[in-house]
Structure 1
């Protein structure tokens, strides 16, 4: 059964009728090397003309990935933790930068993540920190700016424009993967309803529309249904009222 786009279409039309603009950005996690899936991501980004902020795992990133990124104007590398290693106990949610080890150790890993990617990618690296599993403690967040980071990206609408002093919060808002079930596409009607609600909240001033609306993907685990839905949604958003956003457009908080 095909999903009903009517509610989202009506919400998008309301945005256009009111002269509103939706800043739209795309984050994709877990890159370490060139793969056919990365080829598909890059090709889709080119087709849609929406750059991808590619969250690269520093410990495992290869020189081949650096060459690949250098060959594409669509990929904006950002820092995805250090090793994507879980430090939480078995009965807790996974986290690399949670409250499960000394803060100094976690900050050291965050710092060497940025340093390692700068060594590999040079000036192409954007100083955005993306903690694996979108989890990070406030104590660690407070130390990111002094390591050279200018922004933090996790998941769900932000509550403040700054995660800490001199550190912008730029989150992702829609993840199409059903991680705890089929690991395929979340029921598409559920996703469309989520986008509609989120955009309605922004339009009525209940959520921060200065925060770019973030689509979160994981190219390595996509099936056809996830690819197809992601393309259809982004294409429709860019048809109005969304405009592409990249980290380079960010103003200092």
Structure 2
């Protein structure tokens, strides 16, 4: 896959520590005014496109270990080999409670002839979807064994209703897309959706990209539910600096409750 650094991170984000701190303080204040006194803001991080060891992946893991922060790792089954699995697990270490290794599609390949990209979209038959979901699940169960958790993140945050129904029959606990994604799976399988996108925005200026990111953070935190999507391949030093500051804020705020997918079940 080709990865291009987003425009937001092509230069230093002005006044970042103060701006981020203000957003957290204001959002937490809004939440405390609207919620029960002791209610926590549930925060989770989901890192997509996992499967190939790299310097950026190592840096990502080390950053989460530095802050003792949980991370949901969306693994592409076709990218994983026995050797790669050993390398990834050697980086994450023995504390399994910090990670949620789960399924991210199977091939991470687009099968839609037109429109938005989907691996498990309407262009594929129900039989083909089910076969490939099972192949991906079996691959991760074989390589990750008891570290594998039955949650599913579809590539590009999109998939069909057939996919959701089949995932339920395969004993997956929940699916994670971007908030507001369609079709609605409410009556089929639980959703643990992200609502903050750190790296894949399409804005045409760094200022607009920053405004959108901070608006998403403010809205999510103020709602009491904040799911943050990460693509480490799109990160540079500026992006890692922002993530470091973001993890610091979450770790230091007693009102925030860092979670894994398992904590929503």
| Coarse TM-score class (shorter-chain normalised) | 0.7 to 0.9
- The answer for the alignment partner of 1:9 in structure 2 is 25
Task: Tell me how far apart the structure 1 counterparts of residues 87 and 264 of structure 2 sit (CA, whole Å).
Answer: 25
Higher relative contact order, chain-length normalized (CA < 8 Å, sep 6+): 2
1:12-31 equivalence runs, <5 A: 12-16=28-32, 18-31=37-50
The aligned length equals 239
Task: Tell me how far apart the structure 2 counterparts of residues 99 and 158 of structure 1 sit (CA, whole Å).
Answer: 15
1:1-253 equivalence runs, <5 A: 1-3=14-16, 4-5=19-20, 6-16=22-32, 18-71=37-90, 72=93, 73=95, 74-89=98-113, 91-156=114-179, 163-165=186-188, 167-180=189-202, 187-200=209-222, 202=223, 209=224, 213-240=226-253, 241-251=255-265
What TM-score do the two structures reach when normalised by structure 2? 0.80
Between Structure 1 and Structure 2, the one with more helix by share is: 2
Task: Tell me how far apart the structure 2 counterparts of residues 179 and 55 of structure 1 sit (CA, whole Å).
Answer: 19
What TM-score do the two structures reach when normalised by structure 1? 0.84
Task: Tell me how far apart the structure 2 counterparts of residues 31 and 185 of structure 1 sit (CA, whole Å).
Answer: 29
Query: Does the 8 Å CA contact 1:177/1:184 hold for their aligned counterparts?
Result: no
Task: Tell me how far apart the structure 2 counterparts of residues 132 and 112 of structure 1 sit (CA, whole Å).
Answer: 16
Task: Tell me how far apart the structure 2 counterparts of residues 36 and 169 of structure 1 sit (CA, whole Å).
Answer: 31
Query: Does the 8 Å CA contact 2:110/2:117 hold for their aligned counterparts?
Result: yes
Task: Tell me how far apart the structure 1 counterparts of residues 210 and 40 of structure 2 sit (CA, whole Å).
Answer: 24
Please state how far the C-alpha of 1:230 moved relative to its aligned partner.
Answer: 1.9
Task: Tell me how far apart the structure 2 counterparts of residues 162 and 85 of structure 1 sit (CA, whole Å).
Answer: 22
Please state how far the C-alpha of 1:190 moved relative to its aligned partner.
Answer: 2.6
Structure 2 unaligned segments of length 5 or more: list them. Answer: 1-13
Task: Tell me how far apart the structure 1 counterparts of residues 163 and 232 of structure 2 sit (CA, whole Å).
Answer: 28
Query: Does the 8 Å CA contact 1:184/1:222 hold for their aligned counterparts?
Result: no
